[in-house]
Structure 1
Amino acid sequence: MEKDSTVVLATEKYGSNESWEYIVKDGVMERKRNGSECGSGGNSIIGVFKSVFLPQGYPESVSDDYLHYQFWDTVQAFSSSLSGTLATQASLRGVGVGNPEATVAAATVTWLLRDGTGMLGRILFAWQKGSQLDSEAKKWRLFADVLNDIAMFMEILAPNIPSCFTLIVCTAGIFKSIVGVAGGATRAALTVHQARRDNMADISAKDGSQETLVNLAGLLVSLILIPLVTDKPVLTVILFFLFTILHLFANYKAVRSVVMATFNEARLSIVLHQYLRDGQILSPLEGNQKEPVFLELRKKVPVRLGVRLQDLVQNKDEFNLALKQTSMPYLLGVKNGCVRVCLGQEASTHDEIRAACQALCLGSVLHHATPMSGVPEKLLMLQSQSPWEMVFKSYNLMDQIFNPFLKGVEAAGWQTNRTLLNWDEWRVEWKTKTS
């Protein structure tokens, strides 16, 4: 009986999707796929689909939350495409399409005014809020989609109010310009989070392919939808609200599925306060699940990081108080109900995290009136009638808890080599003593 002469020379893999062997059999080298060959045609189709619409190396090349986020992002994009079709039809009717009395000049002026106000809105919004879009990407992502739905609803209503049509359309154009800035910037921030192999460009390109496919599907459905809703404003509004509900729900699920391992103010506050309550360190998944995703109109006790020295102290006595009992490369104080942190030139990322933790502890104490209900017991030691006395006590608290807290969050999987804490750019060098 002859022995099997098959010898395996080498094996190779394509990510986690394919595995192959190079074998020598009867002196001839062959390349053979590992595993069953059944259904290879189906696997080939799936493989082509993945290569077209998913980043190279998926799933190892992206974050764990990528597929969940992209699913809900696809749903919201499809519903938004249908809502946009209804809004576009209404806008065209409003500028006179189908109306023999309408003039090309009037329609052109309206369109130019809408585009012009939108351009100004885009510039002003980027100026005022651009620095917040990284640190609060989830909140601004959801805000952008809510604002987009409001803008489309305004466009649908505008033809029914002819006297205010231009004003309404221009306002909707401003809203849409804000949506463009906030949506594009936060998508870029999420791409940075999703990229695991410095493959942001690939992820962004494949996201564009996915969106194009969804818009194509929306276009095909719109071709069926438009004849059904033409000259039927009630049906248009009903369908718009149905698509809007689906759009907002999908957006909420999408931002909720994102699990960022870097600290912004909200995530740091959640993890820190849980640690102060019971010593437990929340994982990135647990911290992100507790993070609020809706924008707050006004913070009860705002925290400002990286302020100018004059925002913190007004005279030499206050400056000496700010330096008292600290050798840290930052100064901290309370002014006009706001916790302010002045950062030194040599401060490291860990110093930034410590300063933010200290500011958040002070903010919690200032927010809760006596008795301190809902505040971790360890923060009770900060109570004082004097703001500067509270600051001095907060340094002592950080000396006790920060190092164990930092080790705990690193062990839990949080990244501490970079943050999204939205520090301003002011950096100060100061003398340790003044006479």
Structure 2
Amino acid sequence: MEDYGAILATERYGSGESWHYVAKDGAMERRRDSRDAEPRGNSIVGVFKSVFLPQGYPESVSGDYLQYQFWDTVQAFSSSLSGTLATQASLRGVGVGNQEATVAAATVTWLLRDGTGMLGRIVFAWLKGNKLDSEAKKWRLFADVLNDIAMFMEILAPFFPAWFTLIVCTSGIFKSVVGVAGGATRAALTVHQARRDNMADISAKDGSQETLVNLAGLLVSLILIPLVTDNPALTIGLFFFFTALHLYANYKAVRSVVMETLNEARLAIMLRHFLRDGHVPTPLEANREEPVFLEFRKTLPIKLGVRLHEVVQSPEELRLALKKDAPFLLGFTNGCVCVCLAAHANTRDEIRAMCQAIWLSDKLSSSRQHQGFWEMVHKSYELMGSEFDRFYKGVEDAGWDVTRTLLDWDEWRFKWKPKMR
């Protein structure tokens, strides 16, 4: 064994490898740490990682990154194959291979499909754009389910020639919704995964992964197309198989995400646990319980950041609503628990207001009697006055990020005159 002098310096590349600089014959030589020695041929793996994984992986991303990306890759591959089957059906429907079909008719159908899709994209972004951050998991899964429905419609469309244009236009609207919801929620998940303000790098590498998956899907499609041509039964059978795989992979993907920011669902889970047994769930525990499907509410809906007149309609109600040192008001209007937020409220105030609204929503939903609303509002202030500090400390200790929230606040803020108190 060669004799080396003292170690002059060491350096590391993340958690991947470490090196020593040692003195030898009056020079400085760089030697890899023997404990980090990797098997032969790993240079190929290293190149693969640098091409498809963010720089600094795994330290530069969230702990759920790899599991999410695995299931996201599976769903993208199965979706690519389903899309091939749907595209083939659409082309057949507009007349490809049919000598009686005209280019003009096919072009008009395609333009109508794209035009309705553009309108659908605008309308959906207007109606639901503000929900995509706070409920990213639900809308991510919803987008993929809707995408499968749209592709199934495209496969069936050629069997209904009289309704073909209407079906493909409806499918185009669905796919436009998928584009908005899928793209926006992907951005929200990228923000969650980025731990070094490296959103652009993660997004770029995600694009590379998706391109590789689509390339693999393209190669498999070249084998499938000759088999399914003029075989509707096999086409539909394969479509259902790939769709089932796609939906399962998407469910596993959103289930694997562990977000540390507070939205309504996660905060409600934490508050209910705390009031029941004094325990504040960790991000992993709360994310496991968080619903990932859009659902019909079993509790009264909550509207945050509403206008003042949606909470109180008279000076007397305003006096009832105002509480000392509480920079928010709670009210009940049109079957909703409403919250007005003061202009000087901070993130902690937003969390407390949401906690009281959740408690009120639960109580009003179980009692189904809303006549004593103001008494229940006062009880919510008393409860949070005695328990919120302990709850908030438990939230911080459990590892939640309380510097920002994903609560769905609207932009209305109010100020009041001091004499109102």
Asked if TM exceeds 0.5, the reply is yes
Q: Which runs of 5+ in 1 are unaligned?
A: 371-382
- Tell me by how many angstroms 1:40 deviates: 4.7
Mapped to 2, the partners of 1:67 and 1:60 lie a distance apart of: 12
Partner amino acid, structure 2, of 1:225: L
Structure 2 counterpart of 1:222: 221
More deviation in 313-322 or 6-15? 313-322
Structure 2 counterpart of 1:103: 102
Look up the SS of the partner of 2:19 in the other structure.
Answer: strand
TM-score between both structures, scaled by the size of structure 2: 0.97
Look up the SS of the partner of 1:343 in the other structure.
Answer: strand
- Tell me by how many angstroms 1:299 deviates: 5.5
- Tell me by how many angstroms 1:318 deviates: 1.5
Give yes or no for contact 1:334–1:388 (8 Å, CA) kept in 2. no
Look up the SS of the partner of 1:56 in the other structure.
Answer: coil
Would you say 1:292 and 2:306 are equivalent positions?
A: no
Q: Show the 5 A alignment for 1:34-49.
A: 34-35=33-34, 40-49=39-48
Q: Show the 5 A alignment for 1:253-402.
A: 253-298=252-297, 300-323=299-322, 325-369=323-367, 385-402=371-388
Would you say 1:410 and 2:368 are equivalent positions?
A: no
Q: Show the 5 A alignment for 1:227-246.
A: 227-246=226-245
Among residues 408, 411, 415, which one is paired with 1:422 in the alignment? Answer: 408
Partner amino acid, structure 2, of 1:394: S
Look up the SS of the partner of 1:416 in the other structure.
Answer: strand
TM-score between both structures, scaled by the size of structure 1: 0.94
Deviations 1:212-257 (A, max 9, x none): 0000000000000000000000110000000000000000000000
Mapped to 2, the partners of 1:174 and 1:137 lie a distance apart of: 20
Structure 1 counterpart of 2:188: 189
Q: Which runs of 5+ in 2 are unaligned?
A: none
Percent sequence identity over aligned pairs: 73
Q: Show the 5 A alignment for 1:56-205.
A: 56-205=55-204
Give yes or no for contact 1:326–1:395 (8 Å, CA) kept in 2. no
Partner amino acid, structure 2, of 1:334: F
Deviations 1:339-385 (A, max 9, x none): 10000000010000000000000000011138xxxxxxxxxxxx985
- Tell me by how many angstroms 1:28 deviates: 2.6
Partner amino acid, structure 2, of 1:159: P
Look up the SS of the partner of 1:433 in the other structure.
Answer: helix
Aligned residues: 421
Mapped to 1, the partners of 2:41 and 2:48 lie a distance apart of: 11
- Tell me by how many angstroms 1:171 deviates: 0.2
Structure 1 counterpart of 2:21: 22
Structure 2 counterpart of 1:375: none
Mapped to 2, the partners of 1:99 and 1:421 lie a distance apart of: 54
Look up the SS of the partner of 2:414 in the other structure.
Answer: coil
- Tell me by how many angstroms 1:39 deviates: 5.4
Mapped to 2, the partners of 1:238 and 1:10 lie a distance apart of: 62
Give yes or no for contact 1:384–1:390 (8 Å, CA) kept in 2. no
